[in-house]
Amino acid sequence: MRLCCMAVFSEKELIMRNSKIRGNIIMLFTLLYIVYLSVVTYLLNSQGLFISLVDVSITNIGRRLIGDCASIIFLSILIFIAICNNMQIQTGLTWGSSRGLVIFLAAAYFCLFFAVGDYSVKGIYVFLFYLIPVAFLEEFLFRGYLFSALEIKYDFWIAAIISGIFWGISHVPVRAVVYKYSFERCIMACWNELGGGIVMGILFIFLFRKSKSIFIPTLIHAILDYLAMLPQK
């Protein structure tokens, strides 16, 4: 009986240890993504190849795609890892219990695109940009992967805050490279992103956990970003 209890205890310890190791690896992987995105942006910008989203046109879309394809490659790697390791449920790569809501939100996003009525190369690109390399990649990485791993290692709130900090800070490097931020300005920009990253991150985590699908926060994220972009058009 005692040996049996020790075996169960050891097995639980092993599972917890493996979960903590995986959490650390995913945090490192997230940091590598932020560095990777910064380096790609720096290389493109230094060679005069970086194209701002508002400047996308038929003549320069190829150059814009170079940077965004880097993000899509990273997303593809994440999906491949999740499928190979049977992590679809953990990372929310399922319909969950919200197939109808997913379809409704997808329809709402398409309706928003048609309401805007910009069918130019730039208009279509912006529509897809906020859906795939922004909303889907960020939700899958910061909620599906990072938060899910951290929640096993820590409790809900610590996991939510840490993943929110990572997400908030991830918005800074590209702007810092393009607009040549000083070190002090980088620190201030990171600080300014923390509140929004944590608060909005908790909202998206709630949607993720409630629906058990990463597609719900992805679509709401895309809709919010697309709406926020409209005044700039």
Question: For the segment 57-72, what is each residue's pLDDT rounded down to a tens digit?
Answer: 999 998 899 888 888 8
CB 110 within 8 A of CB 219: no
Residue numbers of the chain with a pLDDT score lower than 50: 3-9
The CA distance from 162 to 35, in Å, is 18
Q: Which two tokens stand for residue 15?
A: 């599972």
Return the structure tokens found at 24.
């650390």
pLDDT at residue 14 in the model? 53
Domain count, the chain: 1
Structure tokens of 54? 């508002």
Q: What is the pLDDT of residue 111?
A: 97
Which amino acid is present at 176? Answer: A
Instruction: Supply the range of the domain harboring residue 40.
Output: 2-232
Q: What is the maximal distance between C-alpha atoms in the chain?
A: 74
pTM reported for the whole predicted model: 0.87
Instruction: Residue 71: name the closest of 134, 113, 11, 123 by CA.
Output: 134
- Amino acid identity, residue 61? I
Return the half-sphere exposure (C-beta side, CA atoms, 13 A cut-off) of residue 102. 17
